[in-house]
Structure formats: structure tokens, C-alpha cells
Amino acid sequence: MKILLLGPQGSGKGTIGSMISQETGIPLVSVGQILRNIPNEHPWRNSIQEQMKKGLLVEQSMVAQLLKDELSKDKYMSGFVLDGWYRSMKDIEAYEIDFDIAFLLQISPETTVKRISSRRTCPKCGKIYNTVTPSEKPKIEGKCDKCITDLVQRDDDTEEAILKRLHIFQTETKEVSDLLRDRGILKEIDGEGPPNEVYSLIKPYL
């Protein structure tokens, strides 16, 4: 089964994707994680990092190739849950995937800014925390639970970068959601509640 997750920053795609993965046994693929973990020696590393710091969407051709390389691995033969692709029609033109179902997690712009500007990341292990969400706060303020490393705010988690990406989502991604709705595979989900509540709305479709 091939599942697509759509939604603005902070809508919980990563959290919900992990829950779907645990329920179904299908691996979760995060395009953002692929981009952040690109090897130091990769020829596109500097360009991709610069685009992300500016709050821009990374060039489709680059992301498409990296995603194709990842999804060609044997572990995805039975399907996957994908977070971070189909952000625009250009994504589809660069690499179209035959999804079985797509979930659009809907939250307000205010919720997006609140959730993302409060996000903190461990630079060592990559674990993500949130300073305003009780279930996602670190046990020790400012420290990673796993490796006790100081948490940081990513460059693309500042309010300025968030608002740029939100504008892109509201314009370009709407065309994608309209297309998937016409194809009959889009399910629109209220993402304002806590993860368990949001997941309860998705589970009947799995």
C-alpha cells in the first residue's frame, strides 16, 4: 500500500506517519529527513542546505532523484508512507507515484506558526521535540532525552521561513490536493487535535 501524507508544516505528518507505519508495518519515508541526512560528500549537499535555510522548497529534480534512489530499495516493495512529496504539480511532473490513498492534514496558519516555531531538534541524533506540546517536551529542558545533547532550532523553523513555506503550501499544494480529490483518493483530516485523536480519524481508512 502506498500512502501519501499532505499538510502544512506542523500538521503532524511525521508523527501520524509513524503511527500509520507502526499500525501497518509499512515503512515511513520522510523527504525532509532524506534531505537533512544527505551525505557530506554529495555534490548537491551545499545547494540543498542553502535552499532549506532560506525557507524555500528544494529544487524538484534534486528531490525526485534522491527519492527515486531511496524508494528503489527492497524494503519498500510492499509499500510505504510518504511525507514531503507532491508539494506542487512540478513534483508530480518530476516523479509521479501511484498512491492508493492520500491524507490531507488540515490546521490553521496560527497553529502552524505556533507548533513549528516551538520545535527543537537534536543535532546529534535528529530527534525532534516541541516546547509547547506536553507529550513532545524533552524531560530536561533544552536537552535531548536520548543523548543529552543541547537542542537547537533549525534555520527553517524560524517564523520568517515558516511563513514563506506556508504561502507556498497554500498556493501550490492546493492544485495537488484538488487533483487527488478528483481522483477519489484524497481524505481530508482535521489535524488540530492531539496525535491520538487525529490518528483515530485516519485509522478507519487503513
Give 188's strand partners.
104
Structural domain contains residue 188: yes
Output the pLDDT for position 55.
67
Residue 60: predicted pLDDT: 85
In a domain, 135, yes or no: no
Amino acid 92: pLDDT: 94
Bridge-based pairing state of the strands 119-121 and 128-130: antiparallel
The three grid cell numbers given for residue 156, joined into one nine-digit string:
527553517
pTM to 2 decimals?
0.78
Q: What are phi and psi of 38, to 5 degrees?
A: -60, 135
Is 146 domain-assigned? no
The domain tally of the chain equals: 1
Amino acid at 168: I
* pLDDT for res 126: 81
Residues in the chain: 206
> Using the 8-state DSSP alphabet, how is residue 166 labeled?
H
Consecutive sets of 10 residues in the chain, 206 residues long: mean pLDDT of each?
92 92 94 86 89 78 92 95 91 95 93 84 87 85 93 79 82 91 97 94 95
Please report where in the chains the cell 524560524 appears, as a residue.
158
Residue 85 lies in a domain: yes
Residue 82 lies in a domain: yes
Q: Closest Cα to residue 115, out of 33, 17, 181, 194? A: 194
- Output the CA–CA distances (angstroms, integers) from residue 35 to 17, 46, 64, 157, 182, in the order listed: 17, 11, 11, 15, 30
Backbone angles phi, psi at 25, to 5 degrees: 80, 5
Query: Which secondary structure element, helix H or strand E, spans residue 197, and what is its range?
Result: helix 195-202
Residue 70 lies in a domain: yes
Say if 72 falls within a structural domain.
yes
Alpha carbon distance 202, 165 (integer Å) = 25
Can you give the pLDDT at residue 176? 94
Residue numbers of the domain that contains 196: 2-109+159-205
Q: What is the pLDDT of residue 180?
A: 97
Q: What is the CATH number of the domain that holds 31?
A: 3.40.50.300
Q: Classify residue 176: in a domain, yes or no.
A: yes
